[in-house]
Structure 1
Amino acid sequence: MPHSRIPEAAPAGLRQQPQPRLVTGTGPVIGRALQILGTFTAQHPLLSLSELARKTGLPVSTVHRMLGELLAWGALERDEHGRYRVGLRLWEVGSLAPRTQGLRERALPYLEDLAALTRENVQLAVREESEIVFVERIGSSSAVPTLTRVGGRLAITATGVGLVLLAHAPAHVQDAALARRIQRHTPFTLTDSGQLRRVLAQVRTCGYAVSDRQLSADTLSVAAPVTTAAGEVAAAVSLVVRHGSMPVGALADLVRTSSRAISRVLHTPIS
């Protein structure tokens, strides 16, 4: 069945990219450059010189000088209105991140098969500290809209992939994630740490996670872990459907079949 990747602007509810903990204007040159790059988010992909200076707190003259160097290297580009955006060279470097490079390429055929079979949203995510980063998403034009995008981040407790990754994370990561105030996205969002700990234990027992209307009121996500040859959970794959459209058990069977297939591929050394 045909399917397509879904381009979408960052909708309300998608978390802002976290700002790097970097030095201020008196700090090293690299720190200031990264501070400038860190201001670009899905919500603000295009920024002017004055906006960059305001968001970073750096002098306009400093930002202007740094922008010249970033443009020359290809980390940034300028549009026809003189605004700045992330450049292709930076994307090329980012695509070499070892945790996503081999994972995405090897998982993609199975993600595409799952998307073609279900004509629903299929997602692949990894964990970074107590957040999740989406490294791939596929869906059809008839699938329910979601709040995710490739490269986007979400809080770890509100999504199926997040619950899987948190359930298999080290104890200190779980403690940190559950100690923070948890944002309520819908009336169904789980915010009680004790209840979430019970959910994480259930995820480890049954081998999949369910996020029912926790992130948006009309979606249900079912996710399963992707493991390495050493048995570590490297990623999570999920199906996101409209709430009430498919039985959870059937979704779980499909997702677990795909996650096991991807895991087997990861267990095989690249020749």
Structure 2
Amino acid sequence: MANSPSGETVTERIVRVFETFDTDRTVQTAAEIGRRARLPSSTAHRMVDDLVKCGLLERDEDQRVRLGMRLWELALRGSRALRLRQTATPFMQRVQARIQEHTQLAVLENDEALFIERLSHPKAGANITRIAGRLPLHASASGLVLLAYSPEELQERVLAGPLKAVSPETVTDPAQLRRVLAGIRRDGIIVAPGSVESVSTGLAVPVREWRDREVIAALSVVLPRDAPTRPAIEELRAAAAGITTAFGAKRP
């Protein structure tokens, strides 16, 4: 794609436009998109118009803009994440029926934990994660599992910091974090009280590829801080094994 005067490609600017949307900001004006995407006003309006014509953005009667259904449609076609989510959901439902708190599935995406599914009981405790939401790898049980089994280059990049605290109990010391990651690889599970919120405990296990045993996701639950963890650990391990088998059986 052609470069702008600043050296950016059109693709990079389009991505910046899409990145201005999040779970708390689902509708914007073209001017707001331009400001948040750091684009000249005329460029932002032109790009928004083009993306609306393509169906990747939609404009309502008040001229506000939201992500378009066509973007959602294209994103799901042949998506490995969608296939993983569909495979995992029945197993997650079984965990959730027993635990009745929060059950989540996360994958590694651009050095972060991206949550692709979450089941929550109406009376469950605190949990800041959302579907399509992200957390730093060092700052959640799911992220720690994904980091523990990630390539060494990625681990060293994360360990080099900065390791920002999401809560007072988030592990931010590189030496301590190395010990935590080694423990995950040894035990196949992490119990992380207070790593995201002081009132909660996160537990997570790896979900592996059927053939080469590569870790492709992290399955986790979020419990109240004082809740027993043994039942959740048993459920998570059984569910992760079931997902691995079922996902392998559906492999194209």
The aligned residue for residue 232 of structure 1 is 214
CA distance in 2, matches of 1:211, 1:142: 21
Which residue of 183, 208, 213 corresponds with 2:194?
A: 213
Distance 1:204 1:23, change over 3 A: farther
Which residue of 96, 111, 115 corresponds with 1:115?
A: 96
CA distance in 2, matches of 1:41, 1:23: 26
Deviation at 1:26, TM superposition (A): 6.1
The residue matched to 1:41 in structure 2 has which SS?
Answer: coil
**1:181-238: per-residue Cα shift (whole Å, max 9, x none)?**
1111222111001001000100011111122111111111111111112110000101
Task: With the length of structure 2 as denominator, give the TM-score of the two structures.
Answer: 0.92
Structure 1: gaps spanning 5 or more residues: 1-21
CA distance in 2, matches of 1:90, 1:62: 21
1:163 matched to 2:144? The reply is yes
**1:73-132: per-residue Cα shift (whole Å, max 9, x none)?**
111112343221111111122223633021111111111111122211000010024211
The residue matched to 1:157 in structure 2 has which SS?
Answer: helix
Which residue of 205, 219, 226 corresponds with 1:244?
A: 226
The aligned residue for residue 150 of structure 1 is 131
Deviation at 1:30, TM superposition (A): 3.3
The aligned residue for residue 23 of structure 2 is 42
CA distance in 2, matches of 1:42, 1:23: 29
Aligned length in residues: 249
| More moved, 224-233 vs 71-80 | 71-80
Checking the alignment, whether the CA contact within 8 Å between 1:25 and 1:57 is kept in structure 2 is: no
Checking the alignment, whether the CA contact within 8 Å between 1:211 and 1:221 is kept in structure 2 is: yes
Distance 1:131 1:24, change over 3 A: farther
Checking the alignment, whether the CA contact within 8 Å between 2:208 and 2:244 is kept in structure 1 is: yes
Checking the alignment, whether the CA contact within 8 Å between 1:23 and 1:31 is kept in structure 2 is: no
The aligned residue for residue 68 of structure 1 is 49
Q: Letter of the aligned partner of 1:167 in structure 2?
A: A
Checking the alignment, whether the CA contact within 8 Å between 2:126 and 2:199 is kept in structure 1 is: no
Checking the alignment, whether the CA contact within 8 Å between 1:23 and 1:32 is kept in structure 2 is: no
Percent identity over paired residues: 35
CA distance in 1, matches of 2:78, 2:4: 24
Checking the alignment, whether the CA contact within 8 Å between 1:190 and 1:214 is kept in structure 2 is: yes
| More moved, 47-56 vs 191-200 | 47-56
Distance 1:27 1:204, change over 3 A: closer
Alignment of 1:65-214 (within 5 A): 65-96=46-77, 98-214=79-195
Checking the alignment, whether the CA contact within 8 Å between 2:31 and 2:45 is kept in structure 1 is: no
The residue matched to 2:138 in structure 1 has which SS?
Answer: coil
Deviation at 1:166, TM superposition (A): 0.6
Task: With the length of structure 1 as denominator, give the TM-score of the two structures.
Answer: 0.86
